[in-house]
Amino acid sequence: MATMTLVQAIHDALGEEMERDPRIVLLGEDIGKNGGVFRATEGLWERFGAERVIDTPLAEAGIVGMAIGMALDGLRPVAEIQFADFIYPAFDQIVSELAKFRYRSAGQFTAPVVIRAPSGGGIKGGHYHSQSPEAYFIHTAGLNVVMPSTPADAKGLLASAMRDPDPVIFLEPKALYRTAKGEVPDAGSAVPLGKARIVRKGSDVTVVTYGATVRVAEEAAAQAEGEGTAVEVIDLRTLWPMDIEAVIGSVEKTGRAVVLHEAPRTCGFGAELAALIQEKAFLHLKAPVARVTGFDTPFPYALEKLYLPDARRTRNAIAAALSF
């Protein structure tokens, strides 16, 4: 196994799957000769040619609309949105068209489109380059929504996404692109969609999280361990369909749950997680389900560190759950 950064693992998955399946094509702004703004597609234009690595105009609705047409014609397009914040011009194409093809055709047609988008804060990008829009797409029936936190999962989940018959919104935590490093399996490995990962085991509190905040949860859990508290950390990996069995199994064991994400609090995915935990594990709960999230404001540039959930806020929520 090779040691890679998260963005290198994504690049590896794209290249390997394109070798495996000639139907896979990439399209997006500056992904060809330039290799993408984060260099996730660097060298693939030279390797596979301009017919399979397509530079597009700066037009997100056009990128996704073209990808949908390609998929319906038998290809397997992977569309890159340069930043998740720029996905909104394509919102109607995604929620009204892409997500609906299987349902509206009674299963006769699928739309195997992967939409990759760098998501979240942590790079001083300000309010136009730091948003976390996952809840919009989780709300939309017909879409798989994925967010990895490690290089191995980034490669394995992206491989599964490119093989899936249905559309996948693949959100990449850009703060981890070059800061997350780890061993990555060789060619051919895939991580199944819909399965959570237990990052560390514990018996006192469950922290449910995903993406860049997995690291935050690990740091808070290590601090709590020093004080005698065993925190179980669950990385959802696939946000939808969610591995609810893993979450509920953990909460039934610990009796306490903290939900952690950097998206805004109101109607964020943490609200759905809290509701599901309450519905399915109510008699096992020893404290209310806590949420540690971003704030209900535009993403601030100067106050980015204050906005993003950190180990201190997470540790406080763990302590509050224990003392309830």
Locus of tokens 């609090």: 265
Percentage of residues in the chain having pLDDT higher than 70: 100
Contact 44, 192 (CB under 8 A): no
Residues making up the chain, counted from first to last: 324
CA separation for the pair 89, 135 (Å, rounded):
17
Whole-number pLDDT of residue 75: 98
Which uninterrupted H or E stretch holds 49? none
Q: Which residues pair with 3 in a beta bridge?
A: 183
Q: Which residues are catalytic?
A: 129
Q: Which domains, ranges and CATH numbers included, belong to the chain? A: 2-184 (3.40.50.970), 197-323 (3.40.50.920)
Percentage of residues in the chain having pLDDT higher than 90: 98
Mean pLDDT of the chain: 97
Predicted confidence band at 187 (pLDDT cuts at 50, 70, 90)?
A: confident
Structure tokens at 189: 């490995």
Contact 143, 168 (CB under 8 A): yes
Structure tokens at 321: 């759950």
Contact 277, 247 (CB under 8 A): yes
Q: What's the DSSP call for residue 132?
A: -
254-293 tens-digit pLDDT: 999 999 999 999 999 999 999 999 999 999 999 999 999 9
Strand-pair category, 257-264 with 205-209: parallel
Contacts of residue 255, Cβ cutoff 8 Å, sequence gap at least 6: 284, 285, 286, 287
Whole-number pLDDT of residue 284: 98
Strand-pair category, 168-173 with 197-200: unpaired
20-71 tens-digit pLDDT: 999 999 999 999 999 999 999 999 999 999 999 999 999 999 999 999 999 9
Whole-number pLDDT of residue 186: 83
Does pLDDT of 188 surpass 80? no
Contact 26, 115 (CB under 8 A): no
Whole-number pLDDT of residue 1: 83
Arithmetic mean of pLDDT, 305-309: 96
**Burial category of 287 from C-beta neighbours within 10 Å (exposed 0-12, middle 13-18, buried 19 and up):** middle
Q: Is the pTM of this model over 0.95?
A: yes
Locus of tokens 């179980």: 232
Whole-number pLDDT of residue 148: 98
- Nearest CA to 234 out of 266, 202, 272 is that of 202
- Nearest CA to 191 out of 149, 233, 251, 133 is that of 149
92-148 tens-digit pLDDT: 999 999 999 999 999 999 999 999 999 999 999 999 999 999 999 999 999 999 999
